[in-house]
Chains A and B, each alone.
Chain A
Amino acid sequence: MATLVAPVQHSHIEDAKALYKACKGWGTDEKAVISILGHRTAAQRQQIRLAYQNLYQEDLVKRLESELSGAFEKAVYRWILEPADRDAVLANVAIKKACPDYHVIIEIACVHSPEELLAVRRAYQLSYKLSLEEDVAAHTTGDLRKLLVALVSVLRYDGPEINARLAKSEADILEDAIKNKAFNHEEVIRILTTRSKAQLMATFNRYRDDCGTSITKSLLREGDQVNEFAAALRTAIRCINNSNKYYEKIIRNAIKGAGTDEDALTRVIVTRAEKDLKVIKEVYYKRNSVTLEQAVAKDTSGDYNAFLLTLLGKAD
Chain B
Amino acid sequence: MAEIEALIKALSGHGVDEKTVISILGNSQPEHRQAFRKEGGFFAEDERRFERWNDHHVKLLKHEFMRFKNAVVLWAMHPWERDARLIKEALKKGPNSNSVIVEIASTRSSDELLGARKAYHSLFEHSIEEDVASHIHGKEKKLLVALVSAYRYEGPKIKEDVAKSEAKALISAVKNAEKQNPIENDEVVRILSTRSKPHLKSVFKHYKEIAGQHFEDELDVHLILQAAVQCLITPQSYFSRVLDEAMRDGADKNTKKGLTRVLVTRADVDIRAISDDYRNHYAIPLADKIEAKAKGSYKEFLLTLMARGS
Contacts and interface: CB of A to CB of B under 8 A. Distances in A.
Secondary structure type dominating chain A contacts: helix
A156 B120 CA distance: 11
Nearest to B111: A122
A210 interface: no
A149 B146 contact: yes
A125 B196 CA distance: 11
A155 B114 contact: yes
B186 interface: yes
Given A134-B153, A153-B151, A158 B121 contact: yes
A153 B150 contact: yes
Contact of A154 (B125, B129, B196): B129
B117 A137 contact: no
Interface string B108-122: 000000100110010
B149 interface: yes
Contact of B194 (A131, A146, A161, A190): A131
Interface string A29-69: 00000000000000000000000000000000000000000
B146 A194 contact: no
A142 B114 CA distance: 27
A194 B130 contact: yes
Given A155-B129, A194-B134, A195-B130, A129 B145 contact: no
A130 B150 CA distance: 12
A154 B126 contact: no
A137 B194 contact: yes
Nearest to B126: A157
Given A129-B155, A131-B194, A153-B146, A196 B127 contact: yes
Contact of B118 (A130, A150, A155, A195): A155
Contacts of A196: 126-127, 130
A168 interface: no
A194 B154 CA distance: 24
Contact of A194 (B114, B129, B157): B129
Interface string A85-124: 0000000000000000000000000000000001001000
B123 to A, nearest CB: 11
B65 to A, nearest CB: 36
Interface string A181-213: 000000000100111100000000000000000
A22 B145 CA distance: 52
Given A155-B114, A157-B125, A159-B125, A133 B150 contact: yes
B279 interface: no
A17 interface: no
Contacts of B130: 156-157, 194-196
Q: How large is the interface on B (under 10, 10 to 19, 20 to 34, 35 or more residues)?
A: 20 to 34
B155 to A, nearest CB: 6
B133 interface: yes
Contacts of B194: 131, 133-134, 137-138, 149
A155 B129 CA distance: 8
Interface in A125-146: 125, 129-131, 133-134, 137-138, 142, 145-146
A73 to B, nearest CB: 30
Given A159-B121, A196-B127, A137 B114 contact: no
B186 A146 contact: yes
Nearest to B127: A157
B38 interface: no
B152 interface: yes
Contacts of A149: 146, 190, 194
Nearest to A131: B153
B151 A121 contact: yes
B121 A157 contact: yes
A195 B145 CA distance: 13
Contacts of A146: 186
A193 B149 CA distance: 11
Contact of B157 (A118, A129, A193): A129
Residue from B118, B153, B186, B196 having most chain A Cβ neighbours under 10 A: B153
Given A153-B150, A161-B125, 9 more contacts: A118-B151, A121-B151, A131-B153, A133-B194, A138-B194, A142-B186, A153-B146, A194-B127, A194-B130
18 contacts: A125-B154, A129-B153, A133-B193, A134-B153, A137-B190, A137-B194, A138-B190, A145-B190, A150-B146, A154-B127, A155-B114, A155-B117, A155-B127, A156-B130, A157-B127, A157-B130, A194-B130, A195-B130
Closest 7 CB pairs of A and B: A194-B130, A153-B149, A134-B194, A190-B133, A131-B153, A137-B190, A157-B127
